Structure 1
Amino acid sequence: MNDLDLNTLLGAEDDEGSPRRGGRGGKRGGRRRRRRRNRGGFMAPLLAFIVLAGILGGGGYYGYLWLSDALVPDDFSGRGTGEVVLEIKDGQSASDVAVELERLGVVASARAFTNAVASANKSAALQPGEYKMRKKMSAASAVALLTPENRLLATATVPEGKRLSDALAILAKETGKPLKEFQAAAKNTKDLDLPSYAKGKLEGYAFPATYEYGPKTTPKEILAAMVKRFSQTAEQIDLEGGAKELGHTPHEIMIIASIVQAEAGRQQDMSKIARVIYNRLESNPEMKLAMDSTVMYALNKYGTAATFAETKVKHPYNTYMNLGLPPGPIVNPGDHAIEAALNPAKGTWLYFVATDPKSDVTSFATTEAERQALLAKYKANGG
């Protein structure tokens, strides 16, 4: 575009000393000046149109580039090469993911990705997790890879009835993450969202299950997921409401559930074992709980048959020496043990004996004579 005087285009004139045709003053001159200024107001939009036309028309190739970039964003072609890991965090939008993909060099532009997401109608399908992507992919190919099935996930399984120390060792082995990091996270429980009745202790509240985790998942996040799973289970079975009906706190129910889990060889015996615990706690205030599993926990040993000498150890968890329940859970119980603690079977039993250790069969007795008969059977079966 040639250089052009804007004042000329707009019809503007210098109010003082500029020559005007007709040269008359007074009202006619004022009306003429107003008319000229009005023509200038019409010319401003016209000038904008001329400039735009210059960009698209007179500008030629450069005008085309400007418009095409605005309407058709840069995009790679093909499936790309190499490898890069994308992490989609909880709460991120498709636009947030697009910016990160552009930063990683996966897509040519964020706009191309958001357009591809909208075209495929998959904005709601972008799930948190980590994904293996390639660099310089077409936006459509990138969208196709971001499905839940393609998340980089591994699994770790913690069986029911494991002590916290054993559960941490299992998690460290299965995830390949340092045991010290799990132990540190287990001690610093303020970030794990434990229920208040857990009293800041993770033992008993690291719910046993199979957990998925990504390459960047931290030990603290894994333990927090276990606590969250416990809280979900507690809500589903109404732990707090059930505990109140039984006259106990949720923490006491979890202690009972942990003993049931540790002592039971079979699921079908759990509610009866729970009844024995309640009967010992409630029918005779002077009767000790006397559970071998709590002694083993106190001694950091394993098994359910403590020796006479072991039952004499001084320790808060030794229920042969102390009345009532121990201070906390001794293992991490599963949902069956928790439900048994909330729904004990009806009966008058005060004793139970694993009469056939090979088949995990447990038998129950009400009197001391019946108990002695069960012990004889236990010894006859190699116990």
Structure 2
Amino acid sequence: MDFLVGAEDDDGRSRRRSRASSGRGGKRGRRRKRRRNKGGFLAPMLAVLILVGGIGAGGYYGYTWLSDVMTPDDYTGQGTGEVTVEIEAGQTAGDVAQTLVEQDVVKSAKAFTNAIAAAGKSSSLQPGVYLLRKQMSAAAAVELLDPGKQLLDRVTLKEGLRLSDTLTTLAKATGKPLKEFQQAARNARALGLPSYARSRLEGYAFPATYDITPNMSAADILTAMVDRFNETAEKEKLVAGAKELGRTPHEIITIASIVQAESGKADDMGKIARVIYNRLEEGRKLEMDSTVFYGLNKYGIAATNADLESTSPYNTYRRTGLPPGPIGNPGDHAIQAALNPPEGDWRWFVATDPERGITEFASTEAEFFRLKAKFEKSRTGG
């Protein structure tokens, strides 16, 4: 078994010799070894503590630096002065942020995009014109970009309104000079009028409610009205419908404008359109007071004998056929009536009670005279 007991360790010393070591020398050796081990542990620990302390100090300053980097520049408060900002269709929150930075409304694009995301309004931005302030906080800017706070003029234009009255209404509503609208109305090509309009806006400035922003010019506003007409014409299949009736689209709009002017309510429009078609087909004069008044630039219910002497091309008591063009701007109901008149043999109609919008129809001349007498009686209060 000596070969086991006497086997050498890696360092060349025999196990027997190390076991035989005794006395003070052996104990001192062990004591020294412990001291060396203790010192070997403290030195790395001290280094670790110094390192951690260094990281802690650096971490604090690093955190401060990162915080400054991660927090975007932003103004504080509600800002000063006034700035008009327009959001265009299709713009993203990032696009709007850049516009706000360029106009010095917010200090940084990131501050705005963060604020609008925090408010949950990133997808609620609406095209329009808004009133903001210079150097305001991003959060305050987000609040003022609410769709309900848009700067606009809401204008409602009634069906049948003449172009001259339409332009006057628009000028008053927007504060723009009437001359600007009159000049814009003469530039048919710029407004996008259909070719069959014969370069005249009358009849094609579609009556509706329009939201008008301060940045819109007179031409922009009228173009929007023509665009609305074109949409309606397409929806109602105006061109195809006119062809089926043996008429041009311009003639249909002219008929629709007379229907609009003569009717007291939408339910009567189809019958009035049928009266017009029946008289045209028989070669009768239309004898419409509304066309006479338009030619005279007057308003009224019943034309006088003096009015009927007018030489205007719109005097349908003296001239056969349709007048040269529309006498107002018809709405969609009137256009529908002109395209789809009901069957019937009516050749006359009389507004027997204009105040209540009551119109009665006649197929014979005798019936017409009876209705006319009824109208005269209501006018005199008899």
Match of 2:364 in 1: 367
2-structure distance, mates of 1:191, 1:163: 21
Q: Does 1:343 align with 2:340?
A: yes
**SS of equivalent to 1:382:** helix
Q: Which moved more, 1:86-95 or 1:294-303?
A: 86-95
Q: Does 1:262 align with 2:264?
A: no
Q: Deviations over 1:133-173 (max 9, x none)?
A: 12222223323432322211221121111110011111111
**SS of equivalent to 1:265:** coil
Match of 2:291 in 1: 294
Q: AA paired with 1:219? A: A
Match of 1:73 in 2: 72
2-structure distance, mates of 1:246, 1:123: 51
**SS of equivalent to 2:324:** coil
Q: Deviation at 1:177? A: 1.7
Q: Deviation at 1:122? A: 4.4
**SS of equivalent to 1:302:** coil
Match of 1:216 in 2: 215
2-structure distance, mates of 1:68, 1:321: 86
Query: Number of matched residues?
Result: 323
1-structure distance, mates of 2:187, 2:259: 28
1-structure distance, mates of 2:131, 2:376: 58
Name structure 2 gaps, 5 residues minimum.
Answer: 1-56
Match of 1:378 in 2: 375
RMSD between superposed Cα atoms in Å:
2.6
Q: Which moved more, 1:137-146 or 1:332-341?
A: 137-146
2-structure distance, mates of 1:310, 1:77: 69
2-structure distance, mates of 1:94, 1:197: 42
Match of 2:169 in 1: 170
2-structure distance, mates of 1:118, 1:199: 51
Q: Deviations over 1:229-266 (max 9, x none)?
A: 22222223222232233222221111111001111122
Kept in 2, the 8 Å contact 1:270–1:337? The answer is yes
Match of 1:232 in 2: 231
**SS of equivalent to 1:332:** coil
Superposition map of 1:63-102 within 5 A:
71-102=70-101
Q: AA paired with 1:87? A: E
Superposition map of 1:31-180 within 5 A:
71-117=70-116, 122-180=121-179
Q: Deviation at 1:98? A: 2.2
**SS of equivalent to 2:320:** coil
Match of 1:43 in 2: none
Q: Computing the radius of gyration over CA atoms, which structure comes out larger, 1 or 2? A: 2
Q: Deviation at 1:117? A: 4.4
1-structure distance, mates of 2:67, 2:243: 69
1-structure distance, mates of 2:241, 2:118: 51
TM (norm. structure 1) is 0.77
1-structure distance, mates of 2:98, 2:220: 26
Q: Deviation at 1:119? A: 5.5
Q: Deviation at 1:311? A: 2.3
Q: Deviations over 1:8-36 (max 9, x none)?
A: xxxxxxxxxxxxxxxxxxxxxxxxxxxxx
TM (norm. structure 2) is 0.77
Match of 1:274 in 2: 273
2-structure distance, mates of 1:377, 1:277: 22
Name structure 1 gaps, 5 residues minimum.
Answer: 1-56
Kept in 2, the 8 Å contact 1:357–1:381? The answer is no
Q: AA paired with 1:202? A: L
Change (3 A) 1:271 1:112: same
2-structure distance, mates of 1:91, 1:190: 27
Q: Deviation at 1:115? A: 4.3
Q: AA paired with 2:218? A: P
Q: Deviations over 1:150-200 (max 9, x none)?
A: 211221121111110011111111222211111111112222112222122
2-structure distance, mates of 1:267, 1:205: 20
Change (3 A) 1:124 1:190: farther
**SS of equivalent to 1:364:** strand
1-structure distance, mates of 2:212, 2:301: 34
**SS of equivalent to 1:227:** helix
Q: Does 1:199 align with 2:198?
A: yes
Identity rate, percent: 61
Q: Deviation at 1:271? A: 0.9
Match of 2:300 in 1: 303
2-structure distance, mates of 1:131, 1:277: 49
Match of 2:36 in 1: none
2-structure distance, mates of 1:126, 1:359: 45
